């Protein structure tokens, strides 16, 4: 059976913040309209003269490959200059680069140092990243209470990943007393922002009746939101709900479609369920399900 509870903390460290602009009209306008050659030309002399915003934006352009080849070493160079001047987003992105070995050797202690500098300035995604480091013992000893502290600061600012991670801590009782009701509240906040991991966990809690009365219709609703983003686990779970007629009318064609989509992403259980279900279906039903799967496209959150 599928229905796996996602309790591993999602270490989604790679994050590139949106640019923070000062009075750099020519470079800013060029950047927004996608004229990266002009943006690069306008911003480079400002960055070379020590302008912190231009340094940061050049770092973004290099890391994204905007206006030229992607170059993590150059990105690290410009982020470092901006970070040294206290630019919180540059500090956070520099932490990302050290945590992932982008343009620099992996160095979790250095990642923690930069995350902390940004987190102490109130940068929500840096606070979440610092929480992840404490939760996973990367660059610092494992400390769930400290992880919870940083997650909470970010979650209260509306950072979806931190809301999800804080929900995980309550669901598993790490750093806080186990409390499914509290976990549910944080998952809901993240899920409503489109976080597929939170949607997955909400679906499971409704399916199992953890923290809420068992409600298969609600489980289906949350599984669908995650499945439509391409989450293989939830495509399989949604297929299971259709196959069993739990929370929704039984429909073998749609069950087969969702199982198939999950199987294509490597979900072996979904593949087995699809093949088992096919024995109960007519050739016409199977053909329809395959057609639906081939035409399916994920939606943006």
How many Cα atoms within 13 Å fall on the side-chain side of residue 225?
A: 22
Span 65-70, mean pLDDT? 90
CB count within 10 Å of CB 124 equals 22
Each residue of 121-158: pLDDT tens digit? 999 999 999 999 999 999 999 999 999 999 999 999 99
Q: Say what the pLDDT of residue 200 is.
A: 96
**What's residue 24's pLDDT?**
64
Instruction: Tell me: pLDDT of 28 over 80.
Output: no
pLDDT computed for residue 5 by the predictor? 43
Tell me, what's the pLDDT at 58? 93
Torsion of CA 39, 40, 46, 48, to 10 degrees: 170
Q: Hey, how many other C-beta atoms are within 10 angstroms of the C-beta on 123? A: 24
Nearest to 26 by CA among 41, 42, 50, 37: 42
Mean pLDDT of the chain: 91
Give the rounded percent of residues in the chain with a pLDDT score beyond 90: 81
Strand residues in 73-116 grouped as ranges (E): none
What's the pLDDT tens digit per position in 229-266?
Answer: 999 999 999 999 999 999 999 999 999 999 999 999 99
The counts of H helices and E strands in the chain are: 16, 0
Taking alpha carbons only, the member of 38, 36, 16 closest to residue 26 is 38
Residue 67, pLDDT score:
85
pLDDT in tens, 42-66: 889 989 999 898 999 999 999 999 9
List the one residue out of 279, 278, 247 whose CA is nearest residue 260: 278
Categorize the per-residue pLDDT at 12 as very low, low, confident or very high, splitting at 50, 70 and 90.
very low
Average pLDDT over every residue of 23-30: 74
Evaluated on CA atoms 158, 164, 165, 167, the torsion sign reads positive
In the chain, pLDDT over 70 holds for what percent of residues?
92
Do 274 and 239 touch, CB atoms closer than 8 A?
yes
Contact (Cβ atoms closer than 8 angstroms) between residue 126 and residue 120: no
CA 140 to chain CA centroid, nearest Å: 23
pLDDT of residue 301: 55
Nearest Cα neighbor of 72 from 99, 38, 50, 54 is 99
Confidence of residue 29 (pLDDT cuts 50, 70, 90): confident
- Per DSSP, 248 falls in state S
DSSP letter (8 states) at residue 279: T
């Amino acid at each position: 059976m599928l229905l796996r509870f996602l309790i591993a903390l999602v270490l989604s460290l790679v994050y590139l913040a949106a640019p923070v602009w000062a009075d750099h009209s020519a470079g800013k306008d060029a950047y927004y309209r996608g004229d990266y050659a002009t943006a690069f030309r306008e911003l480079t002399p400002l960055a070379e003269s020590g302008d912190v915003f231009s340094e940061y934006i050049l770092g973004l352009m290099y890391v994204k490959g905007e206006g030229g080849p992607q170059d993590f070493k150059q990105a690290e160079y410009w982020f470092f200059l901006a970070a040294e001047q206290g630019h919180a987003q540059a500090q956070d992105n520099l932490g990302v680069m050290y945590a992932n070995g982008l343009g620099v050797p992996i160095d979790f202690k250095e990642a923690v140092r930069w995350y902390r500098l940004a987190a102490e300035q109130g940068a929500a995604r840096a606070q979440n990243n610092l929480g992840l480091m404490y939760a996973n013992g990367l660059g610092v000893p494992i400390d769930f209470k400290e992880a919870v502290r940083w997650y909470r600061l970010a979650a209260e600012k509306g950072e979806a990943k931190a809301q999800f991670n804080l929900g995980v801590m309550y669901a598993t009782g790490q750093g806080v007393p186990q409390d499914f009701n509290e976990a549910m509240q944080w998952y809901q906040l993240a899920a409503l922002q489109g976080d597929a991991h939170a949607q997955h966990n909400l679906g499971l809690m409704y399916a199992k009746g953890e923290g809420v009365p068992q409600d298969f219709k609600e489980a289906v609703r949350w599984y669908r939101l995650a499945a439509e983003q391409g989450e293989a686990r939830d495509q399989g779970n949604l297929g299971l709900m259709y196959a069993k007629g739990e929370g929704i009318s039984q429909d073998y064609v749609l069950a087969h479609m969702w199982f198939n989509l999950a199987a294509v992403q490597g979900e072996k259980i979904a593949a087995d369920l699809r093949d088992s279900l096919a024995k109960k279906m007519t050739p016409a039903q199977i053909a329809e399900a395959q057609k639906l799967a081939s035409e399916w496209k994920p939606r943006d959150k």
